[in-house]
Structures are given as C-alpha cells and as structure tokens.
Amino acid sequence: MEIMTDQRFRKTAKVFRAALFIGMICAALFFLVYFSIIGYAKILGPPPLAVPQSTLYMADDGSVIGESNSGQKRYWVPLKDISPDLVKATISIEDRNFYAHNGFDYKRIAGAIIADIKAMAKVQGASTITQQYARNLYLEHEKTWKRKLTEAFYTLRLEMNYSKNEILEGYLNTIYYGSGAYGVQAASQFYFGKDARDLTLAEASMLAGVPKGPSIYSPLANEKKANDRQAVVLRSMEIKEYISRAEADEAAEAPLKLVGKHQRDSVGQAPYFQDAVQKELKYTLKLDDRTIALGGLKVYTTVNLEQQQLAEEMVAKHISEDSEIQAGFVAMDPRTGHVKAMVGGRNYEESPFNRAMQAVRQPGSTMKPLLYYAALENGFTPSTTMKSELTTFRFDDGSSEYTPHNFNNKYAEDEITMAQALALSDNVYAVKTHLFLGEEMLVDTAKRFGLSTNMAQVPSLALGTSGVRVLEMASAYSLFANGGQYVEPVLIERVESHDGTVLFEAEESGKQILKPELASVMNHMLTGMFDPKLNGYSSVTGITMVDEMSRPYAGKSGSTNTDSWMIGYTPQLVTAVWTGYDVGKPIVKSTEKVYSKNVWFNFMEKALEDEPAAPFKTAKGTIGVFVNPENGKIATANCPVKRLTYFKDGTEPQEYCTDHLDAGEEHPKKPAKEHEEKPEKKPWYKRIFSL
C-alpha cells in the first residue's frame, strides 16, 4: 500500500513539474510575444490619422458654398469646440473607464464574456472608445478574428502614441450617427441645426445614444426608443457624477426641436462653378477622386456670392420660362483673371452640362475685335476706310466664291471707317480686312488671345464661324480691359489640407501679349457700339442700352442663326453671355435674339452699382483726336458730329474734313490732341475745336 502511494506521489509530482515547465514555457512565450508586439508597435510609431472628411468649397469671402457630394457629411472639430455635455455623455455610455485603461478594459471584457455565455449569444459589447476609433480609422466592420486581432494592434499603437484627448477627439469626429452624418459636428447640424459646441444637455444625451444603432435610436426613426436610450445615457452620466438627478430629470423632460436636414444640400450654391472647380482639382492639381471627396480639403475659390446670385437671377428673369433657350455666362475680374460668377445652364439638376466651359459655339461678330486688333498691328487705324457694298469674293481662279451679307442687307452708301464698321458690325468690312491680312493671321491672333479651339482658315472666320467657349471669350476680352496682359482664368485661389497645410496657391500671372497703346485704342473703339455718334446707315448695335447706362462700357455683340452673344466690360469686370438652343436650332423669335444683351446689361448695371464709374485709361503712346466719324478725318468746327477717337501716336489722321467747311473758313493745319496743354496760350486748333 505504501509502495503504491509513493508511486502515485512521484507520478503526481512528475505531472506537476511537467505542467509547471509547460506553464513557464507558455508564460515565457506570452511575454516574448507581448514584448515583441510592444516593440514592433513602438518601431512602427504612430499610425497615420487619415480621417475621411468632407471637402469644403469657399467663396471669395470665406463663406462655404458647398462640399464634396459623396453622400457622407464629415466635418472635423477640435475637442474644445464640442459641447462638454456631449463629451461626458459619450464617455458615460460608451467607455466609463476611458481615462483609466490602456485601450482595453479587461474587467469589462470579462463581464461581456460571462454575459454572452449565460445568454448563449452575443448580447454585450466590450469595445473601448480607442478600439472603436481604431475600427473607424483602419478597418471594415466585418466580424472575423483577423479583424479583431488587427483592431487590437491598432488600439495598442493609438494608446502608445496619442493622448487620451486626441483619441477622444478623433472618435467623436468619426463615429456614425446615421443619415450620412459622420462625427458630432455633422450630426449636430443634421439633428438640431446647430454646431456641436452649442448642444444642450438634453440634445447631447439624445445624440450620444444614437451610435449604438442609428436606424433604431435616432429620434427621427423611433421617438420612443430614442427617449428610452436617452434615459439610459442620463442615468450613466448620473452614476459617473457628471450630473445630478435633478439635471437628469430636467433634461429628460426638455422638449427637443429636431431639424432632420443637412445644412448644405447635395447641390449647394453655384453648382456649375463647383463642378468646374472639381475638374480643376482633378485634372490640373492631379488630385485623386477620394482625396477630392473625403480629403478634408478647404478649397478657397474666386466666386463672388453676390455676383453669382445676381447672374443666376438675371438668366432666370430675362429668359422666358416657356423658352427652350439655354445660357452660358462668365463674369471675371480682368485684372486678376478671377472668375466671379459662372452659369452653365438654366437648371443644374435637369442638365449639369456646363455651357460656359464645355459648349463650343460660333461666336459671330464677337470675333471681330480680335481681327481688328490684328489689323491695328498691321497698319490699320480707327479711321481706315473701305467700301461696304455687297461684294462677292472669288477664289482659286474663280472656282469658288463667297458673298458676306450685312444685317438686314443694309450697306453704306460710301466708304466707312474701321471704328464705324466695328460699332455697326459691318460684315463686308470685316471680311475684306480678314482677307487683306491673310486668313492665317486671325487664326494666330485667336491663339494669342487664349482661344484653344480649332479655327478654320476661311473667309467667314472673320464673322465667327469657328466655335469657341464662353470662358475663353471672357478671358480674351479681358486682355483689352487690362491693357494687354494675358491672365489665366482662375477658379481656385488656394487649397488647404485638413490640417491647414497649403497644397496649392494660385500665382499671379500677367504676361504682356498686346501692345498697350493698341489695346487702349481697341478699348475706345469698343465703346462705339453704345455711341449714337457712330450712327451711320443704321443704328449702333448697343443703341437700346444707351439711355440706361450708368457708366462707360466697351463691348461687342454677335449673332449667328443659332447663337446670340454679348461680351462687354469695364476696367473692373468683364462678362460674356451666350444664349441659344443646345441642339443648334435657329433662333427665330425676335424676343429670344436679345436675351444675351438683356442678361449682360442688367447684370453689369447691378453688379457695379456700388462701384465708381471707372473710365478707360489711355496708355502712353496714344493720342486723342476729334474726328468726323463718317469719314475718319479730323473734325472741324462746322462738322455736325465729332467724336473723340484714339490712335497710336503717329498714326492719327492728318487730313481735315472739308465736307462742312464754309467757303471763307481758314483750313486748320494740326490735329486736335486730347488733354494737350500750353502754359502761355491756348493753341489755335483747340480754339477752333472748342467752338
């Protein structure tokens, strides 16, 4: 018996020693693995906090006009800008020991395991705020062991490298509250129409209960369950001694005003402009789609909200609701190239096609100022005359011919000047000039002005038969307005990352393309469409606007069978308007033919009503001479009409008008120059011209 007992003892001791040895090996392996994980986590350093955030688009005054349309609303706010009641409510209901544990609440984990075993089902969660934050940042919400182990590793790295407040801030900015709202700021705005910092205890306790199940505990989805959940949150806050029983009861009874709407809808303001900005981010700044949508960018644009709203109003007001006519509109600052307003169509939701940037349409006579600038460079002057008569041009030994026609088939009885031809939009004069310069000249000039579309070297190019874009035409005319400097159209001033790092900033551009003195001559010629003094055999094209103009404008209208244009400017603002049918159908109704002018004029008048009426400055190297607009010669005292016309110095007319001189009048010998002063005596020719 003793022998058997001794054998049993030795056997038990052997098993114990083996178990102890195995236990020591397991413990050693555990600590080896544990410290290896710790060491590996330390080597890796802090995990990047690449938190998805909505990209915001700002107007030129810093106000938000829209955001990335990803279906998700994500805005990051610092912890200090979150209601303390919401912070306390979240900690109370989600992780009471948040500030005490190292990322894992082992007591809570054990309790959850026991509860699950008793219920034979998953009934209680044990994830800490840090674990949930790790899941939101780096992982999908699939329930696999691989995901749980990866989550634990990221939790460890977060706790090792970030403070508790940084983790809490990140969690509150990434947790999902339903209805596309991620984070407390988006949720506060959606549910209560206010910022997270302004939430009351009642609102905070209601909101803190939603993440457990947004489709169940949202007050918009199920009011009773939401109220029950709010009571649980308030009780948890009371247990944590964040609030008193009286405060909890008061919050539970407080009425809540629910909004249930995001502050910015999916379209936002200036939708065509926003689309153009997004394309700029993608194709010019080379940002990928995810960064644009959820990179938390702040995109500071050039759009002016007042001018944008005004542009949209003018399009809606002056184009009949019953008409199928569409519109493309661009307003920009010619000094900087900043696009201040853009309308790409009459209804973005019906048609997001941007006619201001994407449509290529025939510009008609709005191409003529580019032609006449080239003519000035090649020896023409505002007083250069040619006959405007019905003319057939024959080419290639008579095998082809071209006959341009003036509007209503009206032609001058005699020669007309280039200034008159521009104001009256004479087509014969334009084609003659084009052919004289050579058909390639206008093609090259259009490229210099920034037009990127293909131009056909044909006689009709002078009349705008090759397509252009509205934005590029506005930019081209800005060269006249700013004295000849080409400035790229600018939609984006600056782009910042979510942490404020400047990713892009527009550089000032201003390459001198035109000769300043010739740009100045063109500016004054382009005021002619509003000047009745240039009225010859028909009215100037802007005659209907003259009586209501509050300031000097320069500009040019244009039309084809299918397109109607008006482009005009002051030194502060250039605006281009196109109207027409998308399908290229002819514009027949007379009321529809004036839509572009009406939109342009009323926009300019209202957009500039608080601005001083700035005159067009004359550049150095120009001279102003009073001429008879009918023949371009120096006007005398007897000329019934005289117009101050600017020329490049040395190209002004030397011949005097003799059509209205009395027989005994002395013939003057010098041209009248604007602003010429003599300290001793007023010049004799000024005495004549001042009569």
Quote the strand ranges of 89-216, DSSP E: 181-182
Distance from the first to the final alpha carbon of the chain: 151
Among 67, 83, 92, 94, which one carries the catalytic annotation?
94
Q: Helix (H) and strand (E) counts for the chain?
A: 23, 20
Cβ neighbours around 565 below 10 Å, total:
29
The strand pairing partners of 558, in sequence order, are 565
CB of 391 closer than 8 Å to CB of 401: no
The tokens for 154 are: 């990221």
94 is annotated as an active-site residue: yes
- Distance CA(249)–CA(253), nearest Å, equals 6
Question: 367: burial class by Cβ within 10 Å (0-12, 13-18, 19+)?
Answer: buried
The tokens for 505 are: 């900033």
Cβ-Cβ contacts under 8 Å for 559 (sequence gap 6 or more): 364, 365, 565, 587, 593
- Distance CA(685)–CA(675), nearest Å, equals 13
**Total count of residues recorded for the chain:** 691
The tokens for 648 are: 């490049």
CB of 85 closer than 8 Å to CB of 172: no
For 240-266, letters b (16+ CB in 10 Å) and e give eebbeeebbeebbeeebebeeebebee
Which uninterrupted H or E stretch holds 37? helix 2-44
Instruction: Specify the pairing of strand 339-343 against strand 485-486.
Output: unpaired
Residue (of 686, 617, 673, 670) closest to 645 by Cα position: 673
The tokens for 114 are: 């026991």
Instruction: Look up residue 367 and give its DSSP letter.
Output: G
Cβ neighbours around 340 below 10 Å, total:
25
Farthest CA pair distance, the chain: 164
Helix/strand/coil for 268: coil
Helix/strand/coil for 576: strand
Please report the DSSP string for 185-196 in residue order.
HHHHHHHHSS-G
- Distance CA(610)–CA(101), nearest Å, equals 62
Residue (of 185, 176, 212, 228) closest to 86 by Cα position: 185
365 is annotated as an active-site residue: yes
CB of 294 closer than 8 Å to CB of 56: no
CB of 459 closer than 8 Å to CB of 404: yes
Cβ-Cβ contacts under 8 Å for 235 (sequence gap 6 or more): 248
Instruction: Look up residue 47 and give its DSSP letter.
Output: P
The tokens for 15 are: 């098993």
Helices 223-239 and 245-253: crossing angle in degrees, nearest 10, is: 170
Among 365, 557, 559, 596, which one carries the catalytic annotation?
365
- Distance CA(172)–CA(505), nearest Å, equals 31
Q: Which of the residues are catalytic?
A: 94, 365
